[in-house]
Amino acid sequence: MAIPGRFLPLLALAPALLLAESKIPSLGYTGAPTDHGGQDCSTCHNSFGAANSDPAGSLQVTVADYVPTEPQTIRIIVQHPQASRWGFQITIREQSDETLSSGVFTVLNPADTQVVCDDGSQFGSQAPCNGTILRQFAEHLNAPIGTAGTAFEFDVSWMPPSQEIGRLNVYVAAVAANDDGTPQGDWVYTAVQTLNNAGTCDLLKAPILESIVNGASFQPAVSSNGMISIFGSGFQTSGRERGAGLGDFVNGAFPTELGCVGVQVTGPGLAQPVNLPIAFVDPTQINAQLPEFSGTGPLGVTVILNPGTMQAVSSAAGTFNSLQAFAPALFLLNNSTSVAAEDVTTPGIVADPAVLPGASPAKPGDVVSLFGTGFGATNPSVSAGQLASGMPTLVNPITVMIGSTTLAQSDILYAGLSPSSISGLYQFNVRIPASTPNGDIPVSISIGGVETQSATIAVQQ
């Protein structure tokens, strides 16, 4: 059969493209789950099945737990008794957000290694990444040739991040190739390693504790298992903030030490001080969750820097007479009285777009989710800091008002902990009454005779 002329140039280029792929790998095939769905080099080099299928070869990655700003050399050694050409690709990601690279790679041997940035193209762009947030990879250059049966070593310098950011994941894929210029007949090996912060905490000046307030309303009343905000100074160095993510979780729960900061609390029914789960810390604010108390009364709170070390320094203990049985409050959008709300069916943020660009007002009849804290016990109960599984519902009844309308129980579709969130966050799925007029409409939730702070929800027919 004759080949149409317009296809001849494409066929002529095919061998060159195959060779280029062997010398410079396509970007993002290390097995990192947020890149190409976690694919690795065996996507193309698959003659012998999935990665690590042939035990005759191996991949060894030598990398240590990180100390912020202290560089280390990562050694990547790949071998197979029948291979004579070699390749690799490595990326290091924040476990709290796998879409983010961590630290900076530097080439040690420019003859066989390069550093590239993920700019969305197949092969990426050359480093440096010029301070952008592009993900970074180190990889082979020109697929160096070695001696069959002899392991090949790639060395890459890595500068860790300037501050601790929780655990990191290292993803490496390597190819032991037969040097035939195609992806056929090659062996692929992968490795994943988790790095912990090995640096020391060095916050040396005692912090100052000023107040503890409800984490949603910023008012004094707090309650068992509620989210709180602690205000003061000296909690972090200037300009630094840390939010808890998956890389900080311990046994599936929020950490009790974050950014070298811990908080201890005493109160009714606690036999000894309890370390609080912490969600966020910056120089002047700590967001944490209280434990369950057996009653109401004063709280004793202490902020501890470098907890558990010889350098531990503590604030003066503060006593706050704000613990109540219920301290209901709704989370609001920044600098407004607008509730933090989502459309259940879209889902999208419910708000006046003038308050939050991209948001949309609710319509009468819509079902929206509201979020709050301080609403008391649930069934089943979930310990402080744990993620709520299933749909733990409130033990005590609530009253929801939107505008002048008290919602019927049939219009309160769910009231309990927010699924898969920290156990101090509550969620309420409610239906906007059909009679609701346009505008910023008052919304409130009451429990145990206590009502949430003033808040509104945007409604537009």
pLDDT at 50: 95
* Topology of domain 208-327, CATH: Immunoglobulin-like (2.60.40)
**Mean pLDDT in the chain?**
91
Under CATH, which architecture does the 19-195 domain have?
Sandwich (2.60)
Residues 116, 107: contact at Cβ < 8 Å?
no
Q: Average pLDDT of 284-298? A: 95
pLDDT at 204: 87
**Distances, alpha carbon 94 to alpha carbons 54, 63, 103, 452, in Å:** 30, 15, 10, 37
Give the pair of three-digit tokens for residue 250: 């311990």
Give the pair of three-digit tokens for residue 190: 């992968």
Which pLDDT band holds residue 293 (cuts at 50, 70, 90)? very high
pLDDT at 130: 65
Q: Average pLDDT of 114-133? A: 83
CB atoms within 10 A of CB 454: 12
Residue 8 has pLDDT above 50, yes or no: no
Phi and psi at residue 199, to the nearest 5°: -75, 165
Residues shown for the chain: 461
| H-run or E-run covering 15 | helix 8-23
Give the pair of three-digit tokens for residue 200: 């020391």
> Which part of the chain has CATH 2.60.40.10?
208-327
pLDDT at 181: 82
102 Cβ contact partners less than 8 Å away, ≥ 6 residues apart: 92, 93, 94, 160, 161, 165, 168
Q: Which of 4-13, 159-168, 400-409 has the lowest mean pLDDT?
A: 4-13
Q: pLDDT for 258-289, tens place per residue? A: 999 999 999 999 989 999 999 999 999 999 99
Most confident of the ranges 1-5, 133-137, 162-166, 396-400: 396-400
Q: Average pLDDT of 119-132? A: 80
pLDDT at 252: 87
